[in-house]
Amino acid sequence: TSEEPPKPTIFSKIIDKTIPAKLIYEDEHCVAFHDANPQAPVHFLLVPRKIITGLSAVKDEDKMLLGHMMTVVDKVAREQRLDSGYRVVINNGPQGCQSVYHLHLHVLGGRQLGWPPC
């Protein structure tokens, strides 16, 4: 097809290490680093090296990559001492408040989260 290649964002620079970030995990498929504007005592982002603009742009060929990332989340969460629990969030599109158009999982924890009531 003649689809445009997805545009690099600030996350590509973090992945390439051309701008600094607090990296906490990396492998050949994905990278995790602390969010610059944390919303919980621990708030990190898990990002595929491949530029996928968001959940809406995920293709069949990405299934293995996304499955792999799901197995990485808990590994990194435990390293960050989130044994008591955490939340994984993906913001998608304008109404989902996505601001960086390079797919990423937010992982939040280190305090009792406020929703849902529990």
Count of residues interacting with ligand 5GP (CB under 6 A): 13
Q: Is 104 a catalytic residue?
A: yes
**Can you tell me the distance from the alpha carbon of 12 to that of 101, in angstroms, rounded to the nearest whole number?**
11
Lay out the site mask for ligand 5GP across 17-56 (x = CB under 6 A, - = otherwise): ----x-----------xxxxx-------x-----------
Q: Does 57 bind ligand 5GP (CB under 6 A)?
A: no
46, burial (CB in 10 Å: exposed 0-12, middle 13-18, buried 19+): buried
Among 98, 103, 108, 109, which residue interacts with ligand 5GP (rule: CB under 6 A)? Answer: 98
Put the strands of the sheet holding 86-89 in their side by side order: 23-26, 30-34, 42-48, 105-109, 86-89
29, burial (CB in 10 Å: exposed 0-12, middle 13-18, buried 19+): middle
Q: Does 100 bind ligand 5GP (CB under 6 A)?
A: yes
Among 26, 55, 68, 91, which residue interacts with ligand 5GP (rule: CB under 6 A)? Answer: 91
Of these residues, 29, 34, 102, 104, which one is catalytic?
104
List the catalytic residues.
Answer: 104
